[in-house]
Amino acid sequence: MQFTDRADAGRRLARRLDYLRGGDVVVLGLPRGGVPVAFEVARALGAPLDVIVVRKLGAPFQPELAMGAVGEGGVRVTNDDLIRRAGVTAGELAAVERRELADLALQAARFRAGRPHVDIAGKNVIVVDDGIATGSTASAACQVARGQGAGTVIMAAPVGAPESIEMLRAFCDEVVCLDAPPWFSAVGTWYDDFSHVPDAEVTKLLAQAASSLPAAPAPRDPRNSPPSSASKAAGPLPGQQAIDEPVEVLAGPVRLAGQLTIPVGADGIVVFVHGSGSSRRSPRNRYVATQLNEAGFGTLLFDLLTTQEELDRANVFDVEMLASRLTEVACWLRSRPDAAWMPVGYFGASTGAAAALWAAAEPAAEVAAVVSRGGRPDLAQARLPAVRSPTLLIVGGRDEVVLGLNKAAQRALRCENRLAVVPGATHLFEEPGTLQTVTRLARDWFGVYFGAGPRSWASLGGTQAAPPP
């Protein structure tokens, strides 16, 4: 049996599960790939959809060796025999558990974007994944669901390895699998399209299921309806305090370090995306960020790559990967109660600007505005026509090569855009007064699209596109 994609697999799986329609059912998708399948199942059965987030407890000396797993609500399942034979102490086990629970909480919050988890106590719970290979994650998810009070646990997947399916029967009440070929290899071989599922898609599908919409809403035009404008009307939380703290964001398998600053009453948050050879500690970006804070904007400076990853120069120019991480960081930011109501903008420098534009071109992106400082938009050339966020390209007048690249990029953009040339500035804007000009340009651009009140369009001198009406 071959599936076109996860949605096709989900629709077919739903037909097999139709006998559960009308019952007290909750569908739980295993992120990330299981959620698009689970979405179709939940929609067909008219059942609530949620994620079941499970974190493996890897042995200290061999992280791939699972000692057990943890789930939300403090549920823990362990392989006591393995722990005993491996000589893992109670302290070592507790340390691993604390780390994984912290990651689990961040991931679950990011996916749900402020919504509470669906109560499964006493319900018929269907745990859905896009395929069952070893069955280790699926078995842990079934045990966690049981630990959370599920009345009946059904493990469902479009395809799986026969021996793994048989093993799973010990952890759930029923296993539903459309195809269990004896020659099973990797899950992806049974799909025509088995592309990566980003966190943003998981968040979108959960929100869509929660609102009972038959289809995803049409993308909003940020020029007419700035992202998050509806939630912004609610204003800051009562008693909100200023925030200036180091943060850690889980993006796929890595943790990204950052610094989050949100003044009281901030009009929006600017996420800084630095370029090659730079970091969140860049004096230039920190200067701009500080000035934006004083103007009433929140900022998030963070590193897209770990210290180890930066040693491989190819990672710096892997714009698609960097954009994917930026999208996950933005989802994490919107999952915070103190930031969920605010519009988000991107400030990218050098290769970071390419990542910002690539991320802004995603269909589900909700980016109020983008500013590129000395950017390399040419590295996202194929994605530029899909960018909907108003974009300001700032380039030094003496940075001739990059200026040419930005002029070409501006011709490819279809969104509201401007090209601002800073006279006398080179690529790093090190000349006296030039970085101040960059700051003023960025402040005014974000001010307009964050809805922070009128700004001076005249400050964007040297531009080549008309201002918005």
pTM above 0.75, yes or no: no
Domain ranges (residues) in the chain: 6-210, 240-460
3-state helix, strand, coil in the chain (%, to 5): 40, 20, 40
Q: Is the pLDDT of residue 186 over 60?
A: yes
Q: Which position has the higher pLDDT, 267 or 395?
A: 395
Q: Is the pLDDT of residue 211 over 90?
A: no
Q: Provide the pLDDT for residue 252.
A: 63
Report helix, strand or coil for 440: helix
Q: Is the pLDDT of residue 162 over 60?
A: yes
Q: Provide the pLDDT for residue 265.
A: 81
Quick check: 72 and 108 in contact, CB under 8 A? yes
Q: Provide the pLDDT for residue 282.
A: 65
- Residues 333-370: pLDDT tens digits? 877 777 777 899 999 988 889 999 999 998 777 899 99
Decide whether 6-210 matches 240-460 in CATH topology.
yes
Mean pLDDT of 286-299: 90
E-assigned strands of 329-401?
Answer: 344-349, 369-373, 391-396
Mean pLDDT of 393-405: 93
Q: Provide the pLDDT for residue 314.
A: 66
Report residue 393's pLDDT band, with 50, 70 and 90 as the boundaries: very high
Q: Provide the pLDDT for residue 442.
A: 92
Q: Which position has the higher pLDDT, 148 or 254?
A: 148
Q: CA dihedral defined by 224, 230, 236, 238, rounded to 10 degrees?
A: 160
Mean pLDDT of 387-414: 93
Report residue 464's pLDDT band, with 50, 70 and 90 as the boundaries: very low
Quick check: 108 and 51 in contact, CB under 8 A? yes
Q: Is the pLDDT of residue 462 over 80?
A: no
Quick check: 153 and 145 in contact, CB under 8 A? yes
The pair of three-digit structure tokens given for residue 241, joined into one six-digit string: 């305090």
In sequence order, what DSSP letters do the residues of 297-327 get, joined into one string? -EEEEE-SS-TTGGGSHHHHT-HHHHHHHHH
Report residue 51's pLDDT band, with 50, 70 and 90 as the boundaries: very high
- Residues 83-142: pLDDT tens digits? 888 888 888 888 888 888 887 888 888 898 888 889 999 999 999 999 998 887 898 899
The pair of three-digit structure tokens given for residue 294, joined into one six-digit string: 């004083």
Quick check: 34 and 40 in contact, CB under 8 A? no
Q: Is the pLDDT of residue 62 over 60?
A: yes
Q: Is the pLDDT of residue 194 over 50?
A: yes
CATH number for 240-460 (one of 3.40.50.1820, 3.50.50.60, 3.40.50.10320, 3.40.50.300): it is 3.40.50.1820
Region of 263 please: left (phi>0), alpha (psi -120 to 50) or beta: beta
Across 93-97, 407-411, 463-467, least confident range:
463-467
What does DSSP say about strands 391-396 and 369-373: parallel, antiparallel, or unpaired? parallel
CATH number of 6-210: 3.40.50.2020
Residues in a beta bridge with 77:
69
3-state secondary structure labels for all residues of 439-457:
HHHHHHHHHHHCCCCCCCH
Report residue 80's pLDDT band, with 50, 70 and 90 as the boundaries: confident
User: What is the number of other CB atoms lying within 10 angstroms of the CB of residue 20?
Assistant: 20
Region of 467 please: left (phi>0), alpha (psi -120 to 50) or beta: beta
Distance (Å, rounded) from C-alpha 353 to C-alpha 349? 5
